[in-house]
Amino acid sequence: MRAWIAGLLLCLAGCAPSFDRAMPDQLVTPVVQDDVLVTRDGTSLPLRRWGAEGGPPKAIIVALHGMGDYSNAFDMPGKFWAQQGITTIAYDQRGFGKSANPGIWAGAQTMRDDLYDAVAAARQRYPGVPVFALGESMGGAVLLTALASSTPPQIDGAILSAPAVWSRADMPLTYRTALFLAAHLVPGMILSNDAARRVVSIVPSDNVEMLRALGRDPLFQRRTRTDTLYGLVNLMDEARTAPGRLQNPSPILFLAGVNDQVIPPKPTEGVIAALGNRATVKRYEKGYHMLLRDLQRELVHRDVAEWIFQRNK
């Protein structure tokens, strides 16, 4: 029986979901247009922009949303930062929002490549203006792993808002086993986030009105494929160990909510400890996972703006 199970697992491992992307022969120069980011492979990703008010921008934020979300996640902070003279650019990551193939996981490297392209395009559009990258939850994992790569993005600073760092090593064995079997046996099976929350009561924010609006938003994904969840956990595995691979990192601002019920405290504190003095850490006693949209969001927005301006002195 043990040999049969081992053989079964070996076969399943050979059928692991693949997220590799084939690059076209001809690449293009990434560009930020008014409502789209054109990436190096010619893909157009829907984009939202909150322009600095009162004159030229003092800084640019390239923002990456979380799992199931899309660029509109930054409407609240984007408007605040615009009043401070900061332009925010956010795009729908592949498989999310109005991008092509909604619900299909694009792969961590592809998502990092899109970040590199967005940063390069922002620098081209706003020459001489400092460019920062901000990642929320899943977007934070994309950003953190990009910082730990051999070719980190050319940014003036990174902001990690409740980054998704809940790796397999931090999960119960039952979770890891269920994910493995589901992703390999039924990769296209759809999981309902609403049903999951009924089983495990998770509060992502204390802003109930905002959460209700998300529930009515047709672009916010409330269902997730098992292979997409598998890809997300692969990304979180990378993010959990990313601090150990940082070479010469950009300045980092780490935002953490004490009441975060989405990412457990152990992996979050583990990453903070591993970053050490390479990161400025802000903990919010009343903060939840969606810090930028919580009821005390303006405190967080202000902290981000102040940190950016300190970097520009």
Residue 16 lies in a domain: no
Q: Residue 17 burial (CB < 10 Å; 0-12/13-18/19+)?
A: middle
Give pLDDT tens digits for 160-189. Answer: 999 999 999 998 888 777 777 776 766 667
Residue 125 domain boundaries: 29-311
Residue 1 lies in a domain: no
Report helix, strand or coil for 189.
coil
Bridge partners for 223 per DSSP: 192
Q: At what angle do helices 226-241 and 265-275 cross, to 10 degrees?
A: 40
Residue 13 lies in a domain: no
Residue 15 lies in a domain: no
Please say if the pLDDT value at position 122 is more than 80: yes
Give pLDDT tens digits for 30-40. Answer: 999 989 999 99
- CB-based contacts of 186: which residues, under 8 Å, 6+ apart? 226
This prediction has a pTM of 0.90
As a whole number, the mean pLDDT across the chain is 89
Residue 157 lies in a domain: yes
Residue 131 lies in a domain: yes
CATH number of the domain that 192 lies in? Answer: 3.40.50.1820
Q: Per the structure, how many domains does the chain have?
A: 1
Residue 14 lies in a domain: no
For the chain, what's the residue count?
A: 313
**pLDDT band at residue 10 using 50, 70 and 90 as cut-offs:** very low
Report the alpha-carbon distance of residue 92 to residue 46 in Å, rounded: 5
Residue 2 lies in a domain: no
Tokens of 190: 């759809």
